[in-house]
Structure 1
Amino acid sequence: MNTGLRITAFAAALAAAFGTAYGVGAALDPAVEDSASAAHDEHGDPARMPQAGDGHAGHESVPAGGLQIAEDGYTLDLDTPRVTAGRRTELSFTVRDDHGRAVTAYRREHGKELHLVLASRDLGTYRHLHPERAADGTWSTPVDLPRAGGYRVFADFTPAERGAGNLTLGADLAASGSYAPHDLPAPVATARVDGYEVRLTGALRPGQASRLRLTVARDGRPVTDLQPYLGAYGHLVALRSGDLAYLHVHPNGEPGDGTTEPGPTVSFTATAPSAGDYRLFLDFRHEGKVRTAAFTVRASTAREAATPSPSATPTDGHTDAPGTGHGH
């Protein structure tokens, strides 16, 4: 993940449908790089990103990754494929190499060896966690999923093995209990969480790099003292509705670079792999707490109406309780 775009398509086919409106308002753990100069080839080098007029708009112009449980000789072995909704459970998993051995050495990316994202099929529930690794290679983190349904677990990591690249592997997770699906929220330009208002400007374009700006305010006043969280003033994840294709985006600029201000606006460059509806999750830190604002956007060509409506839709954010929103 680097400054600019980190785009890896994640996956999908979950079991059952999902549940839980968990969209805006929480403490989810963003991922930020240790070194500003470090970059993954597949994370969106601007020189390699599709540009306007390249003939790719509307197609899967960016190679889709993360749609599988195994890639490049590595496999995500989920030890806890089922949990009970509303009950705190220890989620554990192992990353294995092509010989079935547990991987125990990783390169640190954004301050962590591995980043774990959980999302529901309806994109109402979203968690960004940072599990702990035991000496034998087993990863674990407490989770408490609010509603029954199907979830997808995404492990984002880079093995320390020489020549290994960054990978995002996905696996299905089922939460048992009474199930009721939720519709994808309508596109909006403003999200509210814990008294903060976050406004999105810009449009997501298929096959074309575009600028997204998110501006944070509280009580009608711009927030100009956002705090770095794992090395950035904001962290953006986008999931495509339908198959949970995953875009991991990072801001243009970073704290301490001499030009990036600590708010109120954090800007990102992103390229959608195709047209369609996406759910965007912005993590930002202020006054010592990380909160998450969520938006639904439609990626479409410049001639189509792609800008969200100006209405604001509050969501039922969650608190920063251990195991619910963040994993440190």
Structure 2
Amino acid sequence: MKKQTMTLVAVVLMLALVLAGCSGNNGGADTSNAGNANNAGTNNAGNSNKGNAGGAAEDKEITLAYVAWDSEIASTNVVREVLESKLGYTVEMLQVDAGPMYVGISDGSADAMVAAWLPSTHGENYYEPNKDKFEDLGPNLEGTKTGLVVPAYMDIASIEDLQGAEVGETVDYTITGIEPGAGIMSATATAIEAYDLSDWNLLESSSAAMATVLKDAYANEDPVIVTGWTPHWMFAEMDLKYLDDPQEVFGGEEHINTLVRLGLQDDHPDAYTFLDQFAWEASDMEAVMIDILNGASEEEAAAKWVEANSDKVDAWLEGIEL
């Protein structure tokens, strides 16, 4: 009886071991297959990101670089709105100074920008050294201008008028500028030298701070000199004028171009086509800037403009299958 019991126990143990082995093999096979599927999925996703021309939802990502000028905040947010609401992209907004903006487009860490002020403001320092590293899609806005700006009530007409003490003492020999990396700041530094204004100081600040200084002075009818550009909401809100620049340090009439990284057309042909066709007027840009000035967020102002200007947006998207 004892012997039979021992035999029965041995049989049960053997069956248990066999079943456990089968369960382990099946589990191993499932894990292996799952691992292969996961690896294959990862590899396919990677290949899709490199090879799919922007079609897959997870691949529809665009990085827009821009400088913190009110004009470029307006244009870049409108471009973002169209990319997201019309073409289904996820857009990263990369706010940088002018130099890093060009570097980002050149090395591919950013996909596009609509903020290239040419030929003078960005030409020599940023555009020319990098022009073989990106694709220039041409102007998106014509008729821009940069220079030194004063309220119309100031009795001066030219940069040459700053050479005497009479004007300098009224503004403490200070020109209020913007971000130190901006092309207009380099041009102003050149103008100080070219017009023999060695007593003058170019105050570095920001676009927003410059506008605040100008608004405060204008409200009190005080003299003030700032670095300015067109289009800008300040010309719609205040009676301002450019100082004549007989030596053409700031150049003449300019335009704003769209630049994209090399390879964008292959990776995201729909975004490329839109960016290539993006162009508008100074009044369009100013409308967005004024809405932001009046309290709308950048996103709200851009969405409002896009909704109200469907004809222009449709022209930008012509030929794209939506």
TM-score interval (norm. to shorter): under 0.3
Whose relative contact order is higher, 1 or 2, with alpha carbons under 8 Å and at least 6 apart?
1
TM-score in terms of structure 1 length: 0.23
TM-score in terms of structure 2 length: 0.23
Name the one with the larger helix percent. Answer: 2
Compare CA radii of gyration and give the structure with the larger one. 2
Name the one with the larger strand percent. Answer: 1
